[in-house]
Amino acid sequence: MKQRGCAGLMVSAAAMVVSQTAMAQTATSDAATASQDGGTRGAIVDQPADDGTIQDIVVTAQRREANLQDVPVAVTAADSAALAEARVDNIVNVSAITPSVTFRVTNNAVSSSSIQIRGIGTSGNSRSFEGAVGVFIDGVYRTRSGQALQTFLDVDSLQILRGPQGTLFGKNTTAGAVLITSVAPSFDRVTGNVQVDYGNYDTLIAKAAISAPINEKVAIRAAGLYRRNDGFYRDPNSGRDYNDDETYAGKVQLRLAAGEDIDVRLIGDFARSDGRCCYGTADIPAAGPTQAIVDALIRQRGLQPPSRDKDRYEAVLSRDGNQRVSDYGATLLVDWDIGENRLSSITGLRRYRFSQIGVDADFSGADIFALDETFRSNFFSQELTFTGEFEGAVKANYVFGGFFSDETIRATRRLFFGTQAQPYFDILLGARGLPAGTAQAPAGQFDDERMRAGGTSYAAFINWDVKLSDAFSVIAGIRYTREEKYGSFRNAFFTSLPRTPFRLLGAAPGPAYDAQNDRNALSGTAGVQFRPADTAMLYATYNRGFKAGGVNIDQNAAGGRANNPAEVPGGVPRDPRFAPETVDSFEVGAKLDLFDRRARLNLAAFHSDIRNLQVAQFLGVQFAIFNAQRAKVTGVEGEGTLRIGDALTLNASGTWLPEASYGVDPLLGAPLSGRRFAATPKFQGNAGVNLEKPFNYDYSLVGRVQVQYVGPHFTTTVSNATQDEYALLNLNIGVQAAAGWRVELYATNLFDEIIYSRHFLTPLQTGDQNVYLGPPRQYGLSVRHNF
């Protein structure tokens, strides 16, 4: 079932159905059923009956439960039903929920995944980076955005907090925070859900969860997931697929009511993905000067080079490559209600493992260059918070607490020349007038790299929300953070051949180093909130965010061969450290309920000044990190919902960023000085409509149509390559039963738009660029049941 055409039934469905965007403001009866699976922090709370108004949403953006419309933070929230309808089964396509957020991942979940909010986020590729968007799963911070790639399992709600969250959510939230919470076990009755999806590219997703009370004080919940899919890149020679994937995941929870006032949850989870993943790419139409050599070597191997026609999704590699990602750990949540106050503890222990073995590092069917790479992270965190209410001359809500974390990282990389490396460099250097054999590139391993890194973090914070009157409040908070980072690099082995191409290029071996980077930082917030009416709230805030600095761990982090005193006498290693970045953000917003609560409009305007913005560049064979001295982002965003009758709901959201650019800086050089950020169009927006129309008391017709628009933008930090504007049409149509069943057909990217996700410099092929393509049209059948 790999054809890319959409079935006629799906086209007919598009003409007859309207549907729902994946925003929690339009929670369906499916969500009401899901909410009965047991509450959790940040759960979306539905009204007991649909009275035609837009339902209230409870969020935890201020570390306490509050109505979304009362929180002076720009927040998008979605429940499990909305996520399923929008096909958001991991963080990759989160832009279907809100256009303010983009996520990109290419060949390596550790070094190339990044989340951006309002244009701010980690730019480029680096295994050293923590993200500028904090990802928290059940309150536990994830140090790598790639850890949010695993398919969402038993998720109750997703909250996206836009703008710096440096007081309550700490470091690495200069752009915002993503909060993901699991469905909690229920003490009341047996509940659960089952879902099976099947679609093109032989995509199968099967997941289930069940919750059961042991007694009135103890409950358990277990969930499991299996997913497989063929890749959408195809080898024209063998017909095999690249970028396929197979995932297993599980989650077990134990919930204990330890007395009337203490709630304890222990969560254990694991996820593992395997596949021939992530090195399938397409050559750009204007191939570089080495492309003819590469194509000739491919033909020497008796193979046909891939088509340059992007809609054929062809790739030819000399090695299959195997990727494995495993992510597992335990979370302990304890809430102790002490009168009107609450003491909360969040303890997290995580193990994250990543490996790519036998991958084709030159991205072609010529056998030139290969690598093995591993990454291991062990992470522990502990947070304590105390929240409560003060009633005196004025009323106030307060939160104060402390945070500690420790991470250790071990990474390796082994590099190999293939059987055609020698003839490739002979031809390449021969074109420059040098005799054959100038370079020494015999097949086999020539490099073995060992990298270590880690860090310890300490923080203390306090936040006050003081209600001066029924209509007027002030907010103030501050956080102190201490970061202690370290990093080191060693070559366990590097070939002794004096004319190996990496020596001739001056790229390697780079100098060994051990470096420490310790910093203290203050972040915080200040603001005012005004409610002129029950259905309107206005706010103005200032927020400072802080993103930790660190040590770049890479062969060339301290320079190239010329900087290596073991290679060149007198060579001076460079400083591999990079500085922390800070964001000062000013925001004004309005949250309005209109037309007797049948419409909702939330608006925000913001301006952010960024200092020492961390930028990474993949330069073909090395990963560089530097700090851009200044950058600015200015924009406006809005989300609106309108209910028309009892069956139709219209939704629209958009983000306009007239400025999102680096400052003019000679140290940046071309192409970045004064340029816009990558993956940051001036405008992107979503618009949709949904239908839930009962046939009778037992069945309803449900549907969703959504258009996602993305304006033109740069795709990389290493060149001025761009992606033109495009629009994606997504739709669902199905039947929902009062008994809890839902069956629907779905399609994403219905018109099969070709999307350039990220361009990059092809390794060892000077002047050539490759591009990662976004997913093509995908469609299938989904069956869900809640009980």
Q: Which of 287-301, 359-373, 678-692 is the least confident region?
A: 287-301
Residue 13 or 274, more confident: 274
The pLDDT confidence band at residue 13, using thresholds 50, 70 and 90, is very low
Average pLDDT over residues 341-348: 97
Mean residue pLDDT of the chain comes to 88
Lowest mean pLDDT among 193-202, 289-298, 515-524, 657-666: 289-298
pLDDT at 622: 72
Q: Is 689 left (phi over 0), alpha (psi -120 to 50) or beta?
A: beta
How many whole angstroms separate alpha carbon 617 and alpha carbon 761? 10
pLDDT in tens, 352-394: 999 999 999 998 999 999 999 999 999 999 999 999 998 888 8
Assess contact for 523 and 479: CB atoms under 8 A. yes
As a whole number of Å, the CA-based R_g of the chain is: 26
| Residue of 219, 239, 221, 222 lying closest to 231 (CA atoms) | 239
Domain ranges of the chain: 8-786
Tell me the C-alpha distance between 167 and 677, whole Å.
26
Q: What fold is seen in the domain 8-786?
A: Maltoporin; Chain A (2.40.170)
- 3 state SS for 182-217: ECCCCCCCCEEEEEEEEECCCEEEEEEEEEEECCCC
Pairing of strands 577-578, 550-551: antiparallel
How does pLDDT run across 728-786, given as a tens digit for each residue? 999 999 999 999 999 999 999 999 999 998 888 888 777 788 888 988 999 999 999 99
Mean pLDDT of 1-23: 34
Give yes or no for residue 5 having a pLDDT over 50. Answer: no
Q: Of all residues in the chain, what percent carry a pLDDT higher than 90?
A: 68
The structure's pTM equals 0.90
For 128, the 3-state DSSP assignment is coil
Residues 6+ apart with CB under 8 A from 8: none
What number of other Cβ atoms are within 10 A of residue 512's Cβ?
Answer: 15
Res. 93 pLDDT band, cuts 50 70 90: confident
